[in-house]
Structure formats: structure tokens, C-alpha cells
């Protein structure tokens, strides 16, 4: 099916021309499907927002989203929509918005649905840290579980429990997430996420930590 898309861009200083893609609009005249989506994590856009004008972008996205919602509701009603939402509508928005909010030229693409098209646009052209970095379980859940277990045993951070400690042997050194101490290291704990994409690197890390314990010298925690 033929669809068109435009990227929604935040341009903090139009004179400079720098921009960040913060969303996209996708639609089809053939199916009357229209969607707008914005990034879940706007950290890149906030880094550019020196003049505190980013709210104008979110207001624009909300207005367009409301327009699309009304069009969708009207399409399903008995009388149909009283206003036009089409490729011409998207092209007109592209021409009208040339300031802090800008759209990329409407571009045709082929996809099975607006959902599929939007997913592809975001994958290829919109950097969203919320989608790209956190699709797998990170080690934070393990860290929280270990901290909770130690707290349940009344171990106190800074007294008999230390975090991110440096382990030193005669030949190697490395950091561990936790150390239970009483003048010396009584227990060392390291956490990993086994869901990370790079399993080979994970295996190397595990072997490296195991190698520290193979050293005959007694470990010292700094």
C-alpha cells in the first residue's frame, strides 16, 4: 500500500538550521489511515533547547494528534468527516511550518499499514533512546535485588557494605558491584544482565571476573 510520511523536526534556531527529529506523521489516501508519533525520550531535543522553545513542538504534535483523532472518529461515523485529511493536507502543513517546528517534505513509501510504516520510519530516521537502548533487561534490576537482599540482612552501606569497589590482586585489578567488609573483604558480588545483545562481550566479562579469583594472592579492596 502506498503511504506518505513527514518527519516532525525541532529547529531551535532556524537561522542556524540545526534540527532534531522528534516525531513523524504517516498516512494514506488509499486507506484513510493517519498517525502521528513522538519520541518517548526527548533527551536529544532538550540538549538543543537553549531558548526554552521546545514546548511549541509538543503543542504542535498535540494539535495534529487531536485533528487526526477527530478525522478517525468522523470516518467511522454515519456521515463521514466534514474536513479533508489527505496528502495535500500534509503538504500544506509542510509549507506552513518553517520556524521552530518544521516538517520534512512528504515522501512516499510502501508498507502494509500505517503502523508498519511508522515503525520503519522511527527505526531508520528518528533516534529515540527509549526504543533503541532499553528493549532488553539491563542490570539495574539485579542491582536493586542485591541491594534489597543486603538491606534485609541489616548490612549498612558505607559501614559493612560498599559499592563499586576496586579489587586488586598481585597481577590484576577490577571493580565489583558490592563488597561485604569487616576490615577485609568477606564477600564480593558482581551483577550482569544476560539479556544484553552482545553475548560474546558478556561472556568475556564473566570470564575476566572469574580469572580474578584464580589468582593465588589474597584480594585487597580499596
What pLDDT is stored for residue 203 in this prediction? 73
Q: What is the pLDDT of residues 42-76, one digit of tens each?
A: 888 998 898 899 999 999 999 999 999 988 887 66
Q: Please tell me the distance from the alpha carbon of residue 103 to that of residue 108, in angstroms, as a whole number.
A: 14
| Residue 37: strand, helix, or coil | strand
Q: What is the pLDDT of residues 168-214, one digit of tens each?
A: 766 666 777 888 988 777 888 888 777 655 566 667 666 666 665 55
What pLDDT is stored for residue 112 in this prediction? 85
pTM, 2 dp: 0.60
Torsion over CA of 61, 65, 66 and 69, rounded to 10 degrees? 180
Per-domain boundaries in the chain? 2-132, 140-221
Amino acid at each position: 500500500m502506498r503511504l506518505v510520511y513527514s518527519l516532525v523536526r525541532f529547529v531551535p534556531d532556524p537561522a542556524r538550521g540545526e534540527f532534531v527529529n522528534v516525531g513523524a506523521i504517516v498516512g494514506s489516501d488509499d486507506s484513510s489511515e493517519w498517525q502521528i508519533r513522538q519520541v518517548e525520550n526527548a533527551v536529544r531535543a532538550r540538549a538543543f533547547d537553549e531558548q526554552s522553545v521546545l514546548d511549541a513542538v509538543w503543542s504542535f504534535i498535540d494539535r495534529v494528534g487531536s485533528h487526526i483523532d477527530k478525522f478517525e472518529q468522523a470516518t467511522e461515523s454515519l456521515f463521514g468527516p466534514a474536513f479533508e485529511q489527505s496528502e495535500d493536507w500534509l503538504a500544506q502543513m509542510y509549507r506552513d511550518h518553517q520556524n521552530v517546528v518544521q516538517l520534512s517534505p512528504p515522501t512516499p513509501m510502501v508498507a502494509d499499514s500505517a503502523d508498519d510504516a511508522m515503525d520503519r520510519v522511527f527505526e531508520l530516521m528518528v533516534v529515540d533512546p527509549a526504543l533503541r537502548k532499553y528493549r532488553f533487561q539491563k542490570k539495574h534490576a539485579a542491582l536493586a535485588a542485591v541491594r534489597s537482599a543486603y538491606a534485609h540482612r541489616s548490612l549498612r552501606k558505607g559501614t559493612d557494605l560498599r559499592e563499586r569497589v576496586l579489587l586488586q590482586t598481585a597481577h590484576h585489578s577490577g571493580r565489583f558491584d558490592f563488597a561485604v567488609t569487616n576490615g577485609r573483604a568477606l564477600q564480593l558480588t558482581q551483577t550482569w544482565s544476560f539479556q544484553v545483545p552482545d553475548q560474546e562481550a558478556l561472556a568475556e566479562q564473566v570470564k575476566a571476573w572469574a580469572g580474578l579469583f584464580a589468582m593465588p594472592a589474597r584480594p585487597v579492596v580499596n
